[in-house]
Amino acid sequence: MNSTKDNWSILALVRHGESEWNAKGLWTGWTDIGLSEKGRLEARKAAFLLKGINFDIAISSNLKRAIQTMEIILADLNQSNIPVYKSEEFNERNYGDFTAKNKWQMKKLLGEEEFLRVRRGWDIPIPNGETLKDVYMRVIKGYDKLIKPAIAKRKKILLSAHGNSLRALVKYIENIPDEMISQVEIATGESLVYYFNKEGKVIDKKTLSTKNVVLK
């Protein structure tokens, strides 16, 4: 990373590592499930890819799998002493009546087209749950409260959260149209690193996948 980039604000979005319910193909939502062993390894791989960034603050949702991912990353980077914030505004989508149901069984029940609409769509309701639009509204509140002021101060921020809360934030940052958001997917352990200039505009982005990372 060159000296110019060192002076930019950085926001690293990290999807938590695989959880015990991810491994079983279950919709987790607000259920507070911890990381699997694979998920812990994915968090360590994420840390490896984020080496070279000296974070000023770290933020997570208040769900265990995101907190554990953040803690593993900070420990591996020897940065556990920085300020840490936990906010429910970055929690995963509430899957309502679909919580704890197997995704692939639901795909057979709903049919592929409806399944994709429910899973990836923008304003598709789930009984007693949230749409992605609902998630977006609360995520932006968290962004305005915790992240935007830090970007204005040229801070380097780590955010550990979830597939849907991060998709919502990516939609906001990149101004992705409603009809295109279904194409955005973030793998467990994957990081999206945004670089902001002093005016708070995104001037670079990197996607860091743990897929081919082998730790020694």
Q: What is the CATH number of the domain that holds 167?
A: 3.40.50.1240
Does 144 fall in a domain? yes
Q: CA nearest 12: which of 170, 135, 119?
A: 170
Q: What's residue 198's pLDDT?
A: 85
Which amino acid is it at 189? Answer: G
Domain coverage including residue 42:
3-208
The pLDDT assigned to 216 comes to: 81
Give the position of tokens 């690193």: 193
Spatial separation of the C-alpha atoms in residues 67 and 72, rounded to whole Å: 9
Q: Which two tokens stand for residue 208?
A: 């860091």
Per the structure block, which two tokens stand in for 215? Answer: 């730790």
Q: Quick one: pLDDT at residue 3?
A: 45
- Assess if residue 213 is contained within a domain: no
Asked if 30 and 90 count as a contact pair (C-beta separation under 8 A), the reply is no
The token duo for 133 is 């639009």
Residue pair 26/100 in contact (Cβ under 8 Å)? The answer is: yes
In a domain, 81, yes or no: yes
Which residues are tagged catalytic?
Answer: 16, 92
In a domain, 23, yes or no: yes
Q: At what angle do helices 163-174 and 132-142 cross, to 10 degrees?
A: 70
Residue type, 152: A
| Stretches in the chain below the pLDDT threshold 70 | 1-6
- 64 falls within a domain: yes
pLDDT at 6 (0 to 100): 61
In-domain check, residue 142 = yes
- Per the domain annotation, does 215 fall within a domain? no
What is the Cα gyration radius of the chain? Answer: 17
Is 214 part of any domain? Answer: no
The two tokens of residue 135 are 């998630």
| The model's pTM | 0.95
Please report where in the chains the tokens 């639901």 appear, as a residue.
Answer: 106
pLDDT of residue 2: 45
One-letter amino acid identity for 210?
A: T
> CA-CA distance, 92 to 20, in Å (whole number)?
15
Q: Per the structure, how many domains does the chain have?
A: 1
CB within 8 A of 64, min separation 6: which ones?
32, 33, 34, 35
